[in-house]
Amino acid sequence: MEEDSFDPLDFISKQKITISEDVGNDIALISDTKDEQLQNLGDLAMGDLAVHDLAVHVLDLPPISRNFPGEIIMLLLKLLAPDPIMNFGGTLVETETKTLIINDEEIISSKLKSREIDHQEFSRCLPWFENNAPTLLPGKKLALIFENLNPENLNHYLTNIISSSLDWIPDDLLKEKIWKEASLRLSENCGRTAQPEIIRKIVMKGFPEKTGKNYIQLKEPSLTSDNLGLKTWGSSLMLSQRLVSNHQNLLFEPILELGAGTGLVGITCALLGYENIFATDLPEIIENLSYNIQLNDISSNCIVEALDWSNSKHFQDLLKQKYGQNSDMFNTLILSDPIYSSKHPQWVINMIEIFLKKTEISRVLLQIPIRTNFEEEREMLWKMASDIGLHEVQFEIERGYDDFGKQKFIFKEYRWSNL
């Protein structure tokens, strides 16, 4: 699919948006800001230790020298890793710690588990820190080092590790692991657009009660301007939360997700019990999408296929030949964040005309972020939807988050008129 030139920073709108504040609905996807979560975590973790005793400066870290064993370097680099990412506003470990963990030992165990560090390995290293870096102790302070070290001061330290020959370490394989781990920490510390591959964990209100699962896992490769479909955007989380809350009134099978990306909405539908779902995107997105479908154990419920909006003939032929279905077989079409090119409004309308069944229950569910750079494209989409005979059944403005901060979103449900 040929695309207009696009910069992911175009997704960040700082200009004022002219929308009535009387229309809207706040959906709380996180309970606190990250700073508040970390403050609460520190209070829980340290017990009798004052919060200011948690503070770690980069000068407290052991210098890169021959007195720094390779095993200790590796442990420290793992402890400096960020917690697993939860949604867009915090981390999973922070949330679990605030609600479940009640003592220091459990705090440490949770942190070590999230970084795949063996507890015995951690305990064996403590005497070395006592002799060479006592300001990083006690053990619970060391385990929480990531939360209490200013990341802006860490890059130079990591660069020193990467540039060091580590010639005092006899194990070449261990040296390679250290350089790789330090490079990962450096990438993670440079913002979302520079981060390496991540596993994002999505939690939603009411999701465990309705699915029996605590969260959805999504693999996301590093973010670049030519693979935007490999990132989870805020629209998909907003729409997924809506479906968790009210899927009985919104979803009718068969379901087609257009531009599924990392698959969050389709995966949510499958885990809610729907069994006839097609998750589609461009061919270069399909491999990661399929991985996420398998990662969440829903391969039997959700079919992954390539669909190019600029030329859907291949997918139409596939429906007929492989699945014995006509193109206009779908009762629900789902789109989240589909407009980031001047070509997209027409392509979206084309997909609706081809694939949405002409029945009273058939509907289109749209979740679109309000970005000032794409106001004309949104208005064009609304007009085209009306022109082909769709009428607006629901309209809401909501507030949420993505990796770049707070964002407003539009939700719309369309159905065919005069049926």
Query: Among residues 153, 173, 194, which one ends one of the domains?
Result: 194
Whether 91 and 230 share a structural domain: no
Whether 12 and 101 share a structural domain: no
Residue 14 has a pLDDT of 42
Q: Is residue 159 part of a domain?
A: yes
Of 102, 124, 121, the C-alpha closest to 47 is: 102
Q: Is residue 3 part of a domain?
A: no
pLDDT in tens, the chain (419 residues): 444 544 444 544 444 333 333 333 444 343 334 344 334 444 434 444 444 456 788 888 999 999 899 999 999 999 888 776 777 755 444 444 444 444 677 778 877 877 888 888 899 999 999 999 998 888 878 888 877 787 677 889 999 999 999 999 999 999 999 999 999 888 777 765 556 677 888 999 999 999 999 899 999 887 654 566 678 889 999 999 999 999 999 999 999 999 999 999 999 999 999 999 999 999 999 999 999 999 999 999 999 999 999 999 999 999 999 999 999 999 999 999 999 889 999 999 999 999 999 999 999 999 999 988 899 999 999 999 999 999 999 999 999 877 777 889 999 999 999 87
Q: Is residue 199 part of a domain?
A: no
Whether 180 and 262 share a structural domain: no
Q: Which neighbouring-strand residues pair with 406?
A: 401
Round to whole Å and give the CA distance between 369 and 149.
34
Round to whole Å and give the CA distance between 399 and 410.
9
Q: Is residue 2 part of a domain?
A: no
The parent domain of residue 85 ranges over 34-194
Round to whole Å and give the CA distance between 292 and 218.
6
Residue 419 has a pLDDT of 77
Whether 265 and 407 share a structural domain: yes
| H and E: helices and strands count for the chain | 16, 12
Q: Which neighbouring-strand residues pair with 198?
A: 220
* Ranges assigned E (strand) in 87-220: 90-91, 198-202, 216-220
Q: Is residue 374 part of a domain?
A: yes
Per-residue 3-state assignment (H helix, E strand, C coil) for 195-238: CCCEEEEECCCCHHHHHCCCCEEEEECCCCCCCHHHCCCHHHHH
Residue 273 has a pLDDT of 97
Whether 218 and 168 share a structural domain: no
When divided into structural domains, the chain yields a total of: 2
Provide the Cα torsion 58, 403, 187, 178; round to 10°. 80
Q: Half-sphere exposure of 277 toward its Cβ, with a 13 Å CA cutoff?
A: 25
Q: Is the dihedral of CA 372, 224, 233, 92 positive or negative?
A: negative
Whether 12 and 42 share a structural domain: no
Answer for the pair 270, 277: CB distance below 8 angstroms, yes or no: yes
Q: Which neighbouring-strand residues pair with 414?
A: 364, 392
Residue 104 has a pLDDT of 72
Q: Is residue 152 part of a domain?
A: yes
Whether 126 and 227 share a structural domain: no
Whether 380 and 242 share a structural domain: yes
Round to whole Å and give the CA distance between 414 and 216.
28
Whether 296 and 173 share a structural domain: no
Q: Is residue 59 part of a domain?
A: yes
Whether 172 and 273 share a structural domain: no
Query: Among residues 174, 194, 214, which one ends one of the domains?
Result: 194
Q: Is residue 1 part of a domain?
A: no
Rounded to 5°, angle at Cα 294 from 245 and 310: 80
Residue 196 has a pLDDT of 61
Whether 16 and 69 share a structural domain: no
Query: Among residues 167, 194, 221, which one ends one of the domains?
Result: 194
CATH number at residue 224: 3.40.50.150
The pairing of strands 405-416 and 363-369 is antiparallel
Residue 87 has a pLDDT of 78
Whether 210 and 145 share a structural domain: no
Answer for the pair 203, 92: CB distance below 8 angstroms, yes or no: yes
* Ranges assigned E (strand) in 245-389: 255-258, 277-281, 302-306, 332-336, 363-369
